[in-house]
Structure 1
């Protein structure tokens, strides 16, 4: 019988200023506050990094497009002079006619037929703007027109250009903060450890195939299934991270169409504990052999507001008894075998994806590193808490592994970039290596991803009947 570990769902470790634990404070839940503070904090923090990078790229640059004067930095957008080459820093705002607005919310409240939800907000009539404390200016020019998968509301950007006769700002070049400081990868073992990443278990779904795949995953991680090679791989797995959507969304559509007998009091037919009991049993079985980190997702029973807090321990009473199980936030930082892991359950990338014409989700994930911000669409179209003292979604450190859960298919890329020198002490000459992993929905693909902490190598394992 396992011994209860009181610290299983206790307060997270002391907050690292470079790697926040995303645990919210009581004051963060006061929704009477304005979200303008969050945008202002974002601009204040990232402006310094963006400005340093802009100066390195553009200081001493010769004439451009026939403008003879060298570029200079203009601190306020409304102080830009017509025809003068300069660079400015501000918050990107994309005016998108197709983006949801408050009028649609009011229509739903008043039972007026609202437009169906769109998969994409992008359209040919979108306009990119830059704003700061002084005002807003429209950005025009070939770099703006040709860019794909770059401009999203809420990002901080520097633009090099000049004001036109019509009052727009013609952009010749632009840049973002870039990757912040990354600590050296120092593996604790020469061959490294393997971390298993899975998402979208969808426990409680009506799919028998998904249940079989889940059982096969458990047997693999416990070293009870497969050939000798499979068992050797399982032994090397030092941690399992479940990146959200472990429980399926309740399916009440079919039952709502059938006439129901009128009842009085609580209607218990809409609730069943079977999905959480199944997840609890699965984690309890695994936690005896491998540490399990459980992140919440869009369909899990916790607050949908970002950053999502851990699922309550009362939902998983048996798992909470094991030291090997820990409820985590979404997003989530951890260090395994000398490598830093950072990831989300997918809502951040899914929301950014709606802003862009591009279908390249892996490119979108890489772009968030370039922005030094993982959730620029918070709070515009992605719910988040109204923080007044920090923007927790700013990246102050570059992880070695960046994973995104609940994506349509597995994708991975090892990116290398020269990180700018920043206020955290980054080395401008160092090359930063990041393994980006898009983790597919396990209930649909039967796939789990293994990442090596020493080499950042990835393996994909697929579980299905007959394979």
Structure 2
């Protein structure tokens, strides 16, 4: 890691000017994820404080949007809502779902721990409840996208209270993140490689991963491929670099047990060493990786990367991960947020869920209800304060992308990054144009 000799750009805090390896273009990189650090924090708070911080932080911006949308309509608290009076109310949603699993279920006499978990927990009789600082009320009406919404979303609704105490919704308003800065004009094409789900150590044929590494370091493909790979300024591994390792049987000897646990780490170390010796590499923890389970996941411990952890170009980062390259801001997760939203909504399009997460202005609305997270008491770091240029989620079933328009003509590129072990696909994002395209490694025909 060194200063670029030809760069006259003033670097802000946490920015680093990366000089590419021989034949590889350089870039200006900034890690923007300091808010996800848990250093000095303790798991001693109640989760109610996190919901309160979410409501307090989102309310000012959402209230302003609601006033602009419903100019002549009065704002009310839930306690002050009157029957038949048109008004709008702001609060946090709770989705009542009979099928939602409960931690007390295991104490039920009929509980079967081996029962297969359903793909979704939704049902026709699910309903939404809104809660503010003083009370709660049930929301009804076709204007409310009940099947799409999940617990934890802060929303403003317009309507009237009806007989029985329910609130008949006639319109809704979500918090739109603030505008992002425009991408500084860059004359040359540079790329960020997004990949996830390497599943190193799953005992399957590692040929796909070997080819991927050789491609990324510029040792594979035609002259065109090598020129393209030389323009990859950074590689981001969005979680699940390691496969899930079953706990070794106690019947195995101590040496065999140790081997079962350490062999995947040794294999991962080889791949990371090869990559980080040639191209800057960010590695995010995921659901399967040896890191804390609750979000935000902290960077992998250096010992998990072996000798590769000593390389300057290996960057162990948080999940979620927020960074910028040459002024283009990236925000992404290892996919747990989209997986959880998928389970608790009727929506089957994961790209749509990623879009809704941006529309709601929150990366992980279902945490801490159905997705574990740290009990913050002074902030909610998962709030999306400004629209990133690229918003991605790793470890998804398939690749998809979409350019969505934010307010006043700005746009965000949404990307679902598929599991590499399952699809053999890596995504290249052009930081100049924000366009992206997949590259797939198919080894099925080899040896056939």
CA contact (8 A) 2:127 2:146 kept: no
Given candidates 385, 391, 412, the residue that maps to 1:396 is 385
State the TM-score, normalized to the length of structure 2: 0.89
Partners of 2:238 and 2:219 in 1: CA distance? 24
State the TM-score, normalized to the length of structure 1: 0.85
Partners of 2:199 and 2:98 in 1: CA distance? 35
CA deviation profile, 1:138-168 (whole Å, cap 9, x unmatched): 1111212x5542x110010000000001211
User: For the structure 1 residues 293 and 212, does the alpha-carbon distance in structure 2 shift closer, same or farther, using more than 3 Å as the test?
Assistant: same
Alignment match, 1:218: 213
Alignment match, 2:277: 288
Partners of 2:287 and 2:143 in 1: CA distance? 35
Alignment match, 2:354: 365
Alignment match, 2:49: 37
CA contact (8 A) 1:400 1:434 kept: yes
The reply to whether residue 51 of structure 1 matches residue 48 of structure 2 is: no
RMSD: 2.4
CA deviation profile, 1:412-465 (whole Å, cap 9, x unmatched): 0011121xxxxxxxxxxx322100110000011110000000101111101122
CA deviation profile, 1:185-230 (whole Å, cap 9, x unmatched): 114x31331000000000001211xx10111011111111111221
| Alpha-carbon distance, 1:112 to partner | 4.8
User: For the structure 1 residues 261 and 49, does the alpha-carbon distance in structure 2 shift closer, same or farther, using more than 3 Å as the test?
Assistant: closer
- DSSP-derived class of the 1:41 partner: helix
Alignment match, 1:97: 98
The gaps in structure 2 that reach 5 residues or longer are 3-12, 16-29
Alignment match, 2:112: 113
Alignment match, 2:6: none
CA contact (8 A) 1:18 1:396 kept: no
Partners of 1:185 and 1:247 in 2: CA distance? 34
The reply to whether residue 137 of structure 1 matches residue 149 of structure 2 is: no
Q: How many residues align?
A: 420
The reply to whether residue 235 of structure 1 matches residue 230 of structure 2 is: yes
Partners of 2:81 and 2:442 in 1: CA distance? 61
Partners of 1:97 and 1:327 in 2: CA distance? 40
Partners of 1:19 and 1:277 in 2: CA distance? 28
Given candidates 8, 15, 24, the residue that maps to 2:38 is 24
Given candidates 190, 198, 202, the residue that maps to 1:205 is 202
The reply to whether residue 340 of structure 1 matches residue 329 of structure 2 is: yes
Alignment match, 2:81: 80
- DSSP-derived class of the 1:289 partner: coil
| Alpha-carbon distance, 1:317 to partner | 2.4
Mapping of residues 366-445 of structure 1, within 5 Å: 366-418=355-407, 430-445=408-423
- DSSP-derived class of the 2:261 partner: coil
Stretch of structure 1 that moved more, 359-368 or 226-235:
226-235
Partners of 1:160 and 1:225 in 2: CA distance? 58
Partners of 1:262 and 1:445 in 2: CA distance? 34
User: For the structure 1 residues 442 and 389, does the alpha-carbon distance in structure 2 shift closer, same or farther, using more than 3 Å as the test?
Assistant: same
Given candidates 230, 239, 246, the residue that maps to 1:244 is 239
Partners of 2:442 and 2:342 in 1: CA distance? 30
